[in-house]
Structure 1
C-alpha cells in the first residue's frame, strides 16, 4: 500500500478547479479548510467576512472532493482483530495496535468508523471497549481514522442465524432491565463507548429493552441483525426505537412473497403516528392465515447495511434493495482482520479462515467468513451494479451513515463548520467498468495521504 505523505502544515487551504459532493450531485465549487480548527470554512465568509488569504491553493484539475468515508461495520484490518486481546505484558498493546490500524486504514479513504467486535466472551468486551470509544476529542490528524464509538455485533443473536459467530458465547437477555447487557459489555461501556448494537429483537426481553438502550443516558443505536425475526417482529423493533438493519439479507430470514421478512421494512410507508392503527378490513386471505394481520405502523423506514463485495449478495439483490429505499442504504465492508494480508490460511476462533483474494471462508464448513474488501472497492462495485451516479454511490458512505449516526451536522458533508475530513477522488474507466480511486485523504484539514506514481493536482502558493 502506498505510503502517507508528511502532514501539511498549512493553516488554511483552498481547493480550486474541483467538484464537490453535495447531496446527490457533483458541484463545481472551491472549498476552504483550516488545519487549525480542523473544520471546513464557509468560502464567502472566509474571503469577504474575515478577509482570509489561504496559505495554500491546490488546483485539483477537475477531480472530486468527497467527505471522508464512514465504515459502520469493520471487524479489524491489517492483521488485527478488534475482538482479540494481544498476547503481551504491555497494558497498552491493544491501544498501540488500534492506532496502527487507524493510521493504515485512513489511506483507504475511511476517515471515521465504528470498530466492530463480533460475538465474544465478556472479558473481551471489558478489555477492548474502553479503547474503542469515540476518539475525535483529540482531533489529531496523525492518529488516522477516527473512532465514532464501537459497534458490538452480538452476542445477543439468534443461534440459528449465527453465521460464523461462535455458538458457545451467544446469549439472551434474562430480564426486562439491562443487567444481562451490563454484565456482558460492562456498565461503563453502555454509557459512551458503544455507539451501535446488533441484536436479534425476537430474543426474550430484547424488544422491551430497545427504548432504554436508545434513550439517554445510553443513546445507543439498535440494529436488527443475525435474527429469525418475522416482518411483525422487525416492525415491533422499529416501533420500539430500532433504526438500522445489519448487513441486510445476510443472517436473517429471506424475502418470501407471503412474509416479506425484514426486507419488508424497506417498503413500508412511514407514518407520523406510532399509535396502533385501526383494524384493517377483513378478507378471505386474512381469515385463512395466508396474509398475517397488519402490525403497528412505523414512524420511519430503517437504514440498512449492504456488503457490496460480490460474495455476500448478488448485484441484482443490491439493486432491488437500493431501489426500494435509496436514502437508507449504507455501504459497509464487514471486513475482517485479513484485509491487507496475503492469501493464506489463518487461525481464527479454534478454526481457520482461508483467504483467497477478497474471498474468506471457514475451513471447517465453508461458511462465508466476513469480507476482505475496502470501502472504496464497495463504492466502485455499487456504482457499476446499480447504474447510480458517482454522487449517489458516494452518498452511501458519507452522508447516509452520518445521518444514521446523528452526525449529519459534523460528518458526511462539505458545509462550513463541518469537520474537514476529505477524500480527493478520481474515477477511471477500465474495460467499460468505472473504478473510484482515492488520490488524497485529509483529516481535520491536514493531508495525511497521497497516492504515488501519477501526476496530481498543481499546488499554487
Structure 2
C-alpha cells in the first residue's frame, strides 16, 4: 500500500543553500553488510538522494560534506513496542492538550536514543482511555518535521482482548472477549479502526490479542483488511490455534516466549509457528533483549529459528531515563508501585516483570554479545525487519534512494565485555537533531 507517513517537502532555505549533505568515509548498512560508500541526503525533501544523479545529471554540489571517520551510518532505529518513556506513560488519561504536549516532549527525548520512528503502545485499558488517547498516537504523517523528533507510525493496542491467565501485569478486570467486530469498535472507537484518506491514516497500526479467546481468530481477516497488523500475544494458544491465527492473517508475535504457553516437546505452542511449513508465511516476532525477560540462549534459539522475522523491542515503560526507585503506577483503577533497579522493573509485592526500562540500542548491543550475530544482522532487527513487518519497505529502515533520510551515526566501543554500539548523531529527514 502507498506510504502516507513520509515527510512533506520543506521550504527551500532562504540563503540559497540546497539542503544537501554528503556523508563520506563511513560504513553504511546495506542488507547484511556494512559497505564503504558515500550517502547523500536532502533536508528539503527529507529523503535520501541518488548521488550520481545529483552530481552528474543536475550538477549539484552538497552544502556540507561530513567525514564520519569510518563510523557506522545506519537507518534510524524503529521501536515496535514502547509503553512510555522519560516519565510519560501512553496509557494515561489526561486532558487532550496535556496528553499531546507529553507526547511531543517524549518524541524529542526518544530521538536522542537513536529511535527515529516508533509504535506507541497502550496496554489493556477501559474503552474511554483508548477513544481519548489513540487520536494523539496516529501516524505523524505530513505534519511531522525533523525538529519534532521521533515519529509515530501508529498505535499498538496491546489488549484488552487477552487471556486472563497470561495477563502479565495487565489489569485482569478490564480484559474482554470479542464475539464480533462490533466488540472491537465498542472498545477502541470506530474512527480509530478505519480511515477515509491516506493523508490521515488509521490511528491503530497493530493489535495484540489472544486468538483462542472468543471469536478472535475469525475476526483477524476483518482487522487486517483495514491495514491493521494482528499480533498474537498474552495467549494460551496451542500450536494448532496459533497456526490457525497465522492462516487467518496474523503476521506478528508480541514479545515471544513472554506471557504465552511455553514450548513443550509434544506441543510447541506459539513458538512452533516459527517452524511452520513454507505454505504459510512465518510471522515476525518481538524479542526483549534486556537480560530479564529472556535468557540469552533463548534469544539465540529464536533468532536461529527464523532470523528474517527477528525484531528487537524494548517493551519499555515510562521509567526509561529515570533514576532507580519506587514509582507509582496506575493500572486501570488500581494504584500500586513499580520498583526500578537498572533496567529491571518489578511490580511491587510480586515477582512479576513490569516491562523494561532499557533503550533499543542497548538491546542491539546485548544481542550482539549474546548471539554471535554480526553488526549488520543486529541492526537489521531494528531497521529493515520492523519496517517490513509494518509494510514500510523502501521508506523506513533502509538507506535506499528515495527513502526517508532518518539516520543514526554509531561508534563501536570494544572491551572485555564485548561490543557496545553508541549513538553519536541522529538525523531526521536529512536534518541533524542530536549530537552526543
TM normalised by structure 2 equals: 0.93
Give 1:35-434 correspondences, 5 Å limit: 35-86=43-94, 91-175=96-180, 178-191=181-194, 192-215=202-225, 218-271=226-279, 299-349=280-330, 350-434=335-419
Are the equivalent residues in 2 in contact too, given 1:10–1:56 (CA < 8 A)?
Answer: no
Query: CA-to-partner distance for each residue in 1:10-49, whole Å, 9 max, x for gaps?
Result: 7000000001000110000000000000000011111112
State how far apart, in whole Å, the 2-side matches of 1:418 and 1:54 are: 18
Are the equivalent residues in 2 in contact too, given 1:224–1:242 (CA < 8 A)?
Answer: yes
Are the equivalent residues in 1 in contact too, given 2:179–2:216 (CA < 8 A)?
Answer: no
State how far apart, in whole Å, the 2-side matches of 1:10 and 1:364 are: 59
Are the equivalent residues in 2 in contact too, given 1:379–1:393 (CA < 8 A)?
Answer: yes
Query: CA-to-partner distance for each residue in 1:278-310, whole Å, 9 max, x for gaps?
Result: xxxxxxxxxxxxxxxxxxxxx200000000000
Deviates more, 1:183-192 or 1:130-139: 130-139
Give the gaps of 5 or more residues in structure 1. 1-7, 272-298, 452-461
The match for 1:27 among 18, 35, 40 is: 35
Which structure ranks higher in relative contact order (CA pairs < 8 Å, sequence separation ≥ 6)? 1
Give 1:293's aligned residue. none
Give 1:458's aligned residue. none
State how far apart, in whole Å, the 2-side matches of 1:132 and 1:139 are: 12
State how far apart, in whole Å, the 1-side matches of 2:349 and 2:165 are: 17
TM-aligned CA deviation for residue 204 of structure 1: 1.2
State how far apart, in whole Å, the 2-side matches of 1:83 and 1:432 are: 37
Aligned length: 410
TM-aligned CA deviation for residue 409 of structure 1: 1.5
Are the equivalent residues in 1 in contact too, given 2:345–2:355 (CA < 8 A)?
Answer: yes
Give 1:296's aligned residue. none
Are the equivalent residues in 2 in contact too, given 1:158–1:228 (CA < 8 A)?
Answer: yes
State how far apart, in whole Å, the 2-side matches of 1:426 and 1:238 are: 39
State how far apart, in whole Å, the 1-side matches of 2:355 and 2:18 are: 40
Query: CA-to-partner distance for each residue in 1:100-122, whole Å, 9 max, x for gaps?
Result: 00000000000000000000111
Query: CA-to-partner distance for each residue in 1:237-259, whole Å, 9 max, x for gaps?
Result: 00000000000000001111111
State how far apart, in whole Å, the 1-side matches of 2:168 and 2:140 are: 30
TM-aligned CA deviation for residue 384 of structure 1: 0.5
SS of structure 1 residue aligned to 2:346 = strand
Give the gaps of 5 or more residues in structure 2. 1-12, 195-201
Query: CA-to-partner distance for each residue in 1:212-237, whole Å, 9 max, x for gaps?
Result: 0001xx21000000000000000000
State how far apart, in whole Å, the 2-side matches of 1:10 and 1:370 are: 44
Which stretches of structure 1, 4 residues or more, deviate above 3 A after TM superposition?
Answer: none
Establish whether residue 445 from structure 1 lines up as the match of residue 426 from structure 2: no
State how far apart, in whole Å, the 2-side matches of 1:332 and 1:136 are: 23
SS of structure 2 residue aligned to 1:310 = coil
